[in-house]
Amino acid sequence: MVEILVLDRLWHLVEPRVPVVSHPKGGGQFACARATPAGIMDVLKEGVRWNALPKGDGFPSGVTC
């Protein structure tokens, strides 16, 4: 689902501008960098609330988006 909402052509333009942010207490990234804009696109496309993002489709939480 993430790849459908953020096409490869668009992602290649956006990816260099996305900062790499890691968790302040160590560990990995908060969420997949490509999944976050896909979650935003899903909210805009479907008109759902942030906390209603489908958890099984690879989206991070609405708070992260």
What is the reported pTM? 0.68
Question: How far, in Å, CA of 13 to CA of 5, rounded?
Answer: 14
Structure tokens at 36: 């976050």
Q: pLDDT tens digits, residue range 7-62? A: 888 888 888 888 776 667 766 666 777 888 888 888 888 888 888 887 777 778 88
Question: How far, in Å, CA of 17 to CA of 45, rounded?
Answer: 23
Residue 39: per-residue pLDDT = 86
Domain ranges (residues) in the chain: 1-12+27-65
Residue 58: per-residue pLDDT = 76
Question: How far, in Å, CA of 52 to CA of 30, rounded?
Answer: 19
Residue 14: per-residue pLDDT = 86
Task: Name the β-bridge partners of 27.
Answer: none
Evaluate whether 65 touches 33 at the Cβ level (below 8 Å).
no
Residue 34 per-residue DSSP state: T
